[in-house]
Structure 1
Amino acid sequence: MKRTITHLADGRELIYFDRRDDADRSAIDQRDLPPRPLASELRRDPLTGEWIAVARHRQTRTFLPPADECPLCPSAPGRPTEIPAADYDVVVFENRFPSFSSHLGEYAEVGGLSEVRPGVGRCEVVCFTSDHGASFSSLSPEQVALVMEAWIDRTAELSAMPGVEQVFCFENRGAEIGITLAHPHGQIYAYPYVTPRTRRMLAMAAEHRERTGGDLFADVLAAEQRAEVRVVARNEHWTAFVPAAARWPFEVHLYPHRGVPRLGALTAEERAAFAPLYTGVLRALDGLFGVPMPYVAAWHQAPVREGADLAYLHMELFSIRRAPGKLKYLAGSESAMGAFVNDVVPEEAARMLREAAAITD
């Protein structure tokens, strides 16, 4: 793999990840771009202790442009984009409209009981392929391996940044999920705090260890493998299963059989085994109702400075589509109280996904 670092016209970092050592990455971004926005401000909710990022500049971000104006496609004569090169394998660059960044301004107190501090951190865009019409499910094993190398590289680099407490790699796919760009891509958030979901899971893992002496995640995986009914697919190194208490209509968790805290700790064999299992699950999702499924794919890994002994790297994949033409909305119970109600029985969801996988593969 060849890794090339360059910069866009406004100073943002851009990194090419190439399979070929002779890839030419000398193209320069010639655009006249406005100055980079200042970092968001973080406000602490005194009722929950959670941090909320207020990023007003994100209101102006690019929203669902036509394919011939996509900013994530390679640049062409007369049509410069975020990627100056005429072609690429995988590209990572700093988001032009970030929720967190290192470009700080002044942050005044807002009164009341809400503490305010700068939204220090970084947000990056990961372009999985130069092919605008592709999807992650259509990537070759070699391309998935290159994306994983980018995730691993960025996790290590961002974890070393001052103020960063957690690195989160994820993909939002589909207009129903709320994407603003249709090109196959994901994002990486380097948070200046440990997120509420991660903190809660680590607390449950600590409680489980204290009570049983076991590893919560490993025990969940072993129980699902024994039960079998919710397992969607598995191979030598990974198991994909619908959790017994799934929140979402179609939700699949992918666990490596060996517990590791972060992506970088996976062996070459484990990384290679991930691609066919994951892309197969994605194709099964698309095959459920014969339409591209909107989804969120989220990597859970240990925070930077805590929890490495409790965390267990895994991916959580879920879709908000519950039936043809019907979406699962987070209405009163979910949005106001955080209490989920699932319309699809997890065992039924697993059966449907297994059958779809048999057809699509």
Structure 2
Amino acid sequence: MAELRYNPLLRDWTMVASHRQHRPHLPKDYCPFCPGSGKVPDHYDVLKYDNDFPALSQIPPEPDDVGTGLYKVREAYGKCEVILYSPEHSTTLPELSVDHIVKLVELWTERFAALGNDPKIDYVLIFENRGEEVGVTMPHPHGQIYGYPYIPLKLRIELEACQAHHEQTGRCLICDMNREEQQFEQRIVMENEHFVCYLPFFTDYPYGVFIVSKSHQTALTDFSSEEKRSLAQILRDTTGAMDTLFDRLFPYMMCLHQRPTDGGYYEDYYHFHIEFYPPLRAKDKLKFNASSETGAWAPCNPMAVEETAGHLREAYARFKQKEGRG
């Protein structure tokens, strides 16, 4: 069964996808994403792969006949894609070359544009789940893309906040955030010509960095080739610093926040950025979202980001030194 069910309390949709219970879990002797599996080409650098267990489909089944005037149901229309980062089964993002990650950014850009051209898809979310701590079921390096037939609630709230700030000040909220962080300096982890990585003043994860474009752009499709290369570099450096911090694979959830694809106008007030949600607060300690965080959406960060930003800066310096860039 795959369908959308409306939540009238939050005015949002819940995806129901019971068939995903049957997806493979960390297979030991077979990987469908490795060359030779018969599921992917024998030779590729990066690859788009249609999800075998999609929560959303461009040919969705009819929803169950359980809807009412209050409890609405609709077809789970959309698209779920897997983006394979490399044919190498155990390679991680910071172990790839910048040239290789540029190919990944180009593929992201291509898929954002293609899915955004579907008039029934209102939002395209590019993301990566990394590590067993966040529920990863396939260890091969990959991310995913969901094309939703609506704008999910978190994105909708963020867009509304950006629009309200622009109406009140005439400025972009995220441009103002960049200026505040660059003036304060202590929460900045790294930057290059076109992007800056910092722990925002308000983030609820000890190491929940944002990567933000310095120029006011709303989506990957706005970036020049030089900006895409800068993005590839800072993605590699950010994840490399994370892995270096505790000398272990650093689990995270990474989401690219871009303008919706519903035909609306967002150029004046929205701004491309990447948000990381890493659950580690120490090498062997997790930050759990418990009752307050989940039941009230009242986040609590157990550490001051002015302190944890320093930890990540030191790890970034060690990562560069290890590579001979330091």
Q: When the two structures are superposed, what TM-score results if normalisation uses the length of structure 1?
A: 0.85
Of 84, 90, 111, the match for 2:46: 90
Q: SS at the partner of 1:169?
A: strand
Whether 2:148 is the aligned partner of 1:186: answer no
Q: Which residue of structure 1 aligns with residue 220 of structure 2?
A: 263
Q: SS at the partner of 1:124?
A: strand
The one-letter code of the counterpart of 1:90 is V
Asked if the contact 1:70–1:81 (Cα under 8 Å) also holds between the matched residues in 2, the reply is: no
Q: Which residue of structure 2 aligns with residue 293 of structure 1?
A: 250
Asked if the contact 2:172–2:270 (Cα under 8 Å) also holds between the matched residues in 1, the reply is: no
- Number of residue-to-residue matches in the alignment: 317
Distance 2:174 2:155 in 1: 13
Q: Which residue of structure 1 aligns with residue 57 of structure 2?
A: 101
The one-letter code of the counterpart of 1:65 is P
Whether 2:15 is the aligned partner of 1:69: answer no
Distance 2:243 2:176 in 1: 30
Distance 1:264 1:312 in 2: 13
Of 297, 303, 306, the match for 2:264: 306
Once the two structures are superposed, residues 134-179 of structure 1 have per-residue CA deviations (whole angstroms, 9 ceiling, x without a partner) of 0011111111110011001101110112410000111110000100
Q: Which residue of structure 1 aligns with residue 323 of structure 2?
A: none
C-alpha RMSD over aligned residues: 1.2
Q: Which residue of structure 2 aligns with residue 195 of structure 1?
A: 152
What does residue range 34-183 of structure 1 map to in structure 2 within 5 Å?
40-66=2-28, 68-75=29-36, 80-83=37-40, 85-107=41-63, 108-111=65-68, 113-183=70-140
Q: When the two structures are superposed, what TM-score results if normalisation uses the length of structure 2?
A: 0.94
Asked if the contact 1:168–1:298 (Cα under 8 Å) also holds between the matched residues in 2, the reply is: yes
The one-letter code of the counterpart of 1:204 is A
Asked if the contact 1:93–1:124 (Cα under 8 Å) also holds between the matched residues in 2, the reply is: yes
- Name stretches of at least 5 consecutive residues in structure 2 with no aligned partner: 321-326
How much does 1:307 deviate? 4.7
Whether 2:298 is the aligned partner of 1:336: answer no
Distance 1:302 1:288 in 2: 32
Q: Which residue of structure 2 aligns with residue 212 of structure 1?
A: 169
The one-letter code of the counterpart of 2:85 is F
Q: SS at the partner of 1:164?
A: coil
Q: SS at the partner of 1:51?
A: strand
Q: Which has the higher contact order (CA 8 A, sep 6+)?
A: 2
Distance 1:249 1:284 in 2: 14
Distance 2:190 2:285 in 1: 26
Once the two structures are superposed, residues 56-76 of structure 1 have per-residue CA deviations (whole angstroms, 9 ceiling, x without a partner) of 11110111111x30111112x
Distance 1:112 1:63 in 2: 38
Distance 1:82 1:245 in 2: 43
Q: SS at the partner of 2:209?
A: strand
Structure 1 residues 324 and 65: alpha-carbon distance in aligned structure 2, compared to 1, 3 A threshold? same
Sequence identity percentage: 36
Distance 2:237 2:106 in 1: 20
The one-letter code of the counterpart of 1:71 is P
Asked if the contact 2:163–2:270 (Cα under 8 Å) also holds between the matched residues in 1, the reply is: no
How much does 1:109 deviate? 3.3
Q: SS at the partner of 2:26?
A: coil
Q: Which residue of structure 2 aligns with residue 26 of structure 1?
A: none
Once the two structures are superposed, residues 74-96 of structure 1 have per-residue CA deviations (whole angstroms, 9 ceiling, x without a partner) of 12xxxx3421x222111101101
How much does 1:324 deviate? 2.0
How much does 1:105 deviate? 2.2
- Name stretches of at least 5 consecutive residues in structure 1 with no aligned partner: 1-37
Runs (4+) of structure 1 moved beyond 3 Å?
109-112
